Structure 1
């Protein structure tokens, strides 16, 4: 199997790496997450100008002919700088729904807006009592003439404070937790009846509780086939998990490098703490975990186009392995940094927070262990 990147992917990595270094110094990021907006629209515009937002879309859809591997390259670089701009919910999630099941009219209206940076999406799928079951939905979409009326509550919708549009999962039929009867809708966030409560997440991003009260949408808001959306949701979320794993790998690489460098500078008993064999062993364990996580991420990304079972097995294996590695590397990095590791003024604490939150997105280690076993 060829794991070499193309020349174009190498150029994307180099250009994006330079942008992250220049725009995402630690202090610049701290200022951005502490600002009232919580992100930098000018950086989003730069990503659009560089073609990053259009990279994973096919040329037929108005993009630059990339795919999942290109998204992986981009997300890894974002992870290195702890980039907060909503690439995952907008390009990977919303873009995924549009690519896989959007109508010609939906693609024409929205993919071009995503590529240009004019549209920002958030994916509203999680519910307060739903845990990690995409079919466990209390949000409903009832037929009303040719359209639908949405009612419900979505929790921890990442990027929603910045979003112009929402992708929403809702039950159009069946009983709670049934695999059938799940549908996907696309609507503007300013649609009457949509309200939000915005807040800052532990890792510095922004999220919202999103409420739908008699929100009327047309038939053109439906993505895919009514009542048959669960398989589509699983396909898109598996793509999102693979991208998240790449982001985590980027963050782990930097966290490990920062820890090694700190161990060379910090002295105890008159010598660098990096000379202590026990700490050397721990940092080697961190590096081994990182390399295993990278391999699992590569495999999951390459398996996204396989049959459903093969895809799910590879993605769940990656989510488990990367989740375990993220916990190990984050915790070891903080412990080796000592008290400095838990202060806001030190970058390592911010990497620890991001790596910790990674486990809870789209299913934690326990959830994906169960899914992997069920499929084996």
Structure 2
């Protein structure tokens, strides 16, 4: 098995990396973060022009006909720059649901709009009191054919603040169904909010909101897969953020002078930086493991992605904490970039499920490796 990037993936990484360095440095990101939107519509347009928004979708619906491997390459570069645009929520999460469950007409309209950058979509699944469990929604849908209404409350909808369209999970006829709802339409009340890392989200109240069913039948397995693939995307993004945090910390150790010499000559700090590098390499290996599981999604993919996310969370915690500590007081200021990397890594570790929930889930599945003992 060839685990190296293909020539096309390397070229994609270089292209996205150049774009982010040119248009998304720390100062420009700070302007975007403090703007009314909280993300850059200009950059969203650049992603569309590059084809990044259409990467995983079929050419028949205006996509690029590529796979998760290419998406992971893009997300790693986004992680290095801490890009604030709702890429995972629109392309991987909501886009994945539409691609898996939608009719040909729904795919053409929604995925085509996502790919060209004219439509942002968010998946509204989490509900008050449910924590991370999205398997049994209390939101209700009623109707038939093309005429449905949806009522319920969703919270922490990632990308919901900027979404034009919502994909809402709801109970219907004893099943979990998915429904397309106009995010700014009748019966929909959105309350925009910001996560600790600056990314946008929303709480959504639905009161007999007109809806169209996305596909048919129970969508539980489709939801699980979409969340898994989005989790694998977070793993790739986390690796990019960790790499930038380590690079920034190493640079600080080599330039911060104390008592007439760089603090990086201190052997204890060198050892700690070496441990950070080891954590980064471990995270890269586990992100690759998650990428392979998401690319060829099968029977064990959910378990493998959960296992990868557990280890990446540990590596992210280590690198984030060490980066802040080795920067000293300046690392605690909002004006200095390193704290923003720590915030993003902390939020990634709690996206879709927290560490305790992931460990419990992996344990319930029997662990990553089957137990064995010689008699």
Q: Is the 8 A contact 2:330 2:336 kept in 1?
A: yes
Contact 2:181/2:210, CA 8 A, preserved across alignment: no
- The answer to whether structure 1 residue 295 and structure 2 residue 285 are counterparts is yes
Cα distance in structure 1, aligned partners of 2:261 and 2:236: 36
TM-score, normalised by the number of residues in structure 2: 0.94
Post-superposition offset of 1:151 = 1.2
Q: CA deviation at 1:173?
A: 4.5
* Higher mean C-alpha deviation, range 146-155 or range 20-29: 146-155
Counterpart CA distance in 2 for 1:222 and 1:282 is 53
Verify: 1:324 aligned to 2:314, yes or no: yes
Residue 308 of structure 1: CA displacement? 4.4
Aligned partner of 2:373 in structure 1 is none
Q: How many Å separate the matches in 1 of 2:295 and 2:46?
A: 30
Q: In the TM superposition, what is the alpha-carbon distance from 1:224 to its structure 2 partner?
A: 3.3
Q: Is the 8 A contact 2:143 2:149 kept in 1?
A: yes
SS in 1 for 2:75: helix
Count of residues paired in the alignment? 366
How far did 1:277 drift? 1.8
Report the equivalent of 1:137: 137
Look up the match of 2:98: 98
In structure 2, the CA distance between the partners of 1:158 and 1:22, relative to structure 1 (3 Å rule), is: same
Alignment-derived partner of residue 340 in structure 2: 350
- 3-state DSSP of counterpart to 1:263: helix
- 1:334 Cα offset (Å): 0.4
How far apart are residue 184 of structure 1 and its match? 1.3
2:251 pairs with 256, 261, 264, which one?
A: 261
Q: Structure 1 residues 24 and 336, CA, compared in 2 at 3 Å: closer, same or farther?
A: same
Residue in 2 that maps onto 1:222: 213
Are 1:305 and 1:311, in contact at CA under 8 Å, matched by a contact in 2?
no
Give 3-state SS (helix, strand or coil) of 2:294's partner: coil
Please say if 1:193 is aligned against 2:184: no
Aligned to 2:242: 252
The root-mean-square deviation of aligned C-alpha atoms, in Å, is 1.5
TM-score, structure 1 as length reference: 0.94
Aligned with 2:161: secondary structure?
Answer: helix
Helix, strand or coil for the counterpart of 1:293? helix
CA distance in 2, matches of 1:367, 1:224: 30
Q: Distance in 2 between matches of 1:82 and 1:288?
A: 22
Judge conservation of contact 1:312–1:372 (CA < 8 Å) in 2. Answer: no
Is this contact kept in 1: 2:181–2:209, CA < 8 A? no
Conserved 8 A contact 2:95-2:111 = yes
1:177: which partner in 2? none
Residue 24, structure 1, aligned to residue 15, structure 2: no
User: In 2 relative to 1, CA 67–146 (structure 1 residues): closer, same or farther, beyond 3 Å?
Assistant: closer
Contact 1:132 1:363 in 2 (8 A): yes
Counterpart in the other structure of 2:74: 74
Q: Which residue of 2 aligns with 1:273?
A: 263
Q: How far apart in 1 are the matches of 2:7 and 2:81?
A: 23
Q: In structure 1, what is the equivalent of residue 370 of structure 2?
A: none
Cα shift readout 1:163-217 (whole Å, capped 9, x = no counterpart): 111111112254xxxxxx2111122212210011112221111111111011122
Match of 1:178 in 2: none
Displacement, 1:104? Answer: 0.6
Residue 146 of structure 1, CA deviation: 5.5
Task: Structure 1: give runs of 5+ residues left out of the alignment.
Answer: 175-180
Task: Using the TM superposition, give the Cα deviation of residue 223 of structure 1 relative to its aligned residue in structure 2, in angstroms.
Answer: 2.1
- 1:38 CA drift (Å): 1.3
In structure 2, runs of 5+ residues without a counterpart are 367-375
Residue 7 (structure 1) aligned with residue 7 (structure 2): yes
1:83 and 2:74 matched? no
In structure 1, distance between residues paired with 2:146 and 2:60: 30
**Are positions 1:167 and 2:161 aligned together?**
no
- 1:136 offset after TM fit, Å? 3.8
Do 2:69 and 2:295's aligned partners in 1 also have CA atoms closer than 8 Å?
A: no
Q: Does 1:369 align with 2:366?
A: no
Q: Are the equivalent residues in 2 in contact too, given 1:153–1:210 (CA < 8 A)? A: yes
User: C-alpha separation between the residues in 2 aligned to 1:283 and 1:252?
Assistant: 12
Q: Deviations over 1:125-160 (max 9, x none)?
A: 112211111114222213367632211111111222
